[in-house]
A and B are shown apart, each in its own frame.
Chain A
């Protein structure tokens, strides 16, 4: 029977070695950034050039042809080269050096824009890179108003955005915003300058609803709401732009409305499905919002009369009128269509009646 003491000693010794080895394998894992397309050399920590080592990439052994002594040589690196590289001493398989290689580019000039969709409360600036760098980037934004620097508070979401509250209104001094983007391989920056009024652009109107109007085959009633981000429509009223067209045509019709959040279209083609959108703008300053979500609607049509027998169908078709056609527009002079708010389209029939009425009154 073997002596228990030496085997116990062996076990303790093994444990110590293992702990020591583990401690050593908890090497500082470095991070290394390299430019796309570059040639690079990795050194195995403090090992001599002529030491025998084995390199691995993400756990896979690297062929000796890539080695120059104990240095790993990588040519014309691309994104597939990114990963964890480790260097082991030849015989003992000791981990000598470990690093994350991240291949990327230095940042191109960022794209920066600022906009006030909540005038007169303030404005926000948002930015992005025109092409990815594949490595982490840090953004820094500074806002100058004349000699004064303002703090742009970063938004939680979306991330590349910050906002500023106006302390003063109606400023003659321009705002100057500079965005700097930095990463391990370089930096870049862009600056924009603007007047308070130039960046005002509301969000599109909300809850746009279009409905047919009973007994009116050429009308559609459209209603919408001010964008909820616009804080004070009483003092800073919005005006609106409505566009509509039947689905079958490409040409839009436009109506500009200086107040109110509804409009009745009076010249819709009977029975055709329409697509309608609305945009908003501050009454006096800035630019138009994007178009709202499109809504679809079809004007009211009379219910087709049910036919009782085949014979009756044959009879009605021979007389030339079809019971499936919606009735023609009402002949009664519709003053509302002529005098209503917004765009005015007077059909010739209505015009004739109006002229007749006018003559009567002269």
Chain B
């Protein structure tokens, strides 16, 4: 099976099991991608466009999902002006917030890596949230969203590999906190757990807005940069 071609054709998120199976295969085989030829510059450009499109799609999906979920959590979480102080517990999720000049000066690799890391973490926490939800309908919607989000993660990975960038280590540093993370709270911390969920959704929403801007920048810059980078890597 032609893995390279499959990586580009990730969208639209269709049959869940099919995608899941191929995603597992993709993640397994990712480090083994062979040397690339010039058609991949075009491929990278198209992948960036598709990744951008997916962030917009997810952002749209999230609006409905978040409002349903916050209603499920009940007041004050579903109040429009709810503006609680950010607690340190919520810092487990990498924040989209960044100094303006720093964001502007990120190189393509750093920009992509930040997105990749953020969404792998967010996906992890979302999955744990999934397990706790009492309502079946909401669980199903969350499940679908997770699948689409997984698609985004793979899409970013494919852009990175087609540009020759290494993937950041998956969740290695976050494991200890994740182990005792949102999934493992005691009943006494019910309110705190809901706060975590609130901030998780907020962070996810902000990341999706940010990613649209990140991929806009990448869209403009990729083709010449990709060529230069690979020439460097081959020692020319």
Contacts and interface: CB of A to CB of B under 8 A. Distances in A.
A30 interface: no
A172 B202 contact: yes
Interface SS of A by simple majority? loop
B217 interface: yes
Contacts of A236: 213, 216
Contacts of A172: 86, 95-97, 199, 202-203, 206
Nearest to A166: B100
Contacts of A285: 209, 212
A170 B207 CA distance: 8
B97 A147 contact: no
A173 interface: yes
B81 interface: yes
A166 B59 CA distance: 23
Contacts, number: 62
Contacts of A299: none
B100 A120 contact: yes
Interface string B84-106: 01100000000111111001100
Interface in A157-186: 166-174, 176
Interface in A136-161: 146-147
A235 B98 contact: no
Contact of A147 (B85, B199, B217): B85
B83 interface: yes
A193 B210 CA distance: 21
Contacts of B216: 235-237, 283
Nearest to B55: A284
A250 interface: no
A284 B56 CA distance: 8
Contacts of A235: 104, 213, 216-217, 220
A237 B83 CA distance: 30
Interface in A219-246: 234-237
Contacts of A197: 209
B86 A284 contact: no
Interface string B149-173: 0000000000000000000000000
A120 B86 CA distance: 23
A235 B212 CA distance: 10
Interface of A: 120, 146-147, 166-174, 176, 193, 197, 234-237, 283-285
20 contacts: A146-B85, A168-B97, A169-B99, A169-B100, A169-B103, A170-B213, A172-B86, A172-B95, A172-B96, A172-B97, A172-B199, A173-B97, A197-B209, A235-B104, A235-B217, A236-B213, A284-B56, A284-B59, A284-B213, A285-B209
